[in-house]
A = this chain, B = another copy of it.
Amino acid sequence: MDNKREYIYRIEPGDADFMKRATLMSLADYILHTAGEDADRGGFGVRDLNLHNASWVLTRMALEVERMPAEYERIRVTTWVSAVTRAMTTRNFEVFDEKGVRIACAVTNWAMLDLSARRMLDLHLLPAYDSMTQDFPLPAALPCRLAPLSGGREYEHAVVYSDLDFNCHANSVKYIQWAVDTLPLELLQQKRFARTDINFIREARYGERLRIVAAEEALAFEIRNPEREAVCRIAFRME
Distance A29 CA – B168 CA, assembled complex (angstroms): 22
Query: How big is the A interface, by class?
Result: 20 to 34
Is A152 an interface residue, CB under 8 A from the partner?
A: no
CB of A69, distance to nearest CB on chain B (Å): 15
- Interface pick from A11-19, A103-111, A117-125, A222-230: A11-19
CB of A81, distance to nearest CB on chain B (Å): 19
CB of A84, distance to nearest CB on chain B (Å): 23
Other-chain contact of A18, B18, B25, B33, B166 (Cβ < 8 Å): B166
Distance A173 CA – B160 CA, assembled complex (angstroms): 16
**In residues 172-193 of chain A, which contact B (Cβ within 8 Å)?**
173, 177, 180-181, 183, 185, 188
> Known contacts being A33-B12, A206-B185, is A25 close to B162, with CB within 8 Å?
yes
Q: A14-B33, A23-B162, A185-B206 are in contact. List 19 more A-B contacts (CB 8 A).
A: A12-B33, A13-B33, A13-B166, A14-B29, A14-B171, A17-B161, A17-B164, A18-B164, A18-B165, A18-B166, A18-B167, A18-B168, A20-B166, A23-B161, A25-B162, A161-B180, A161-B183, A161-B188, A162-B181
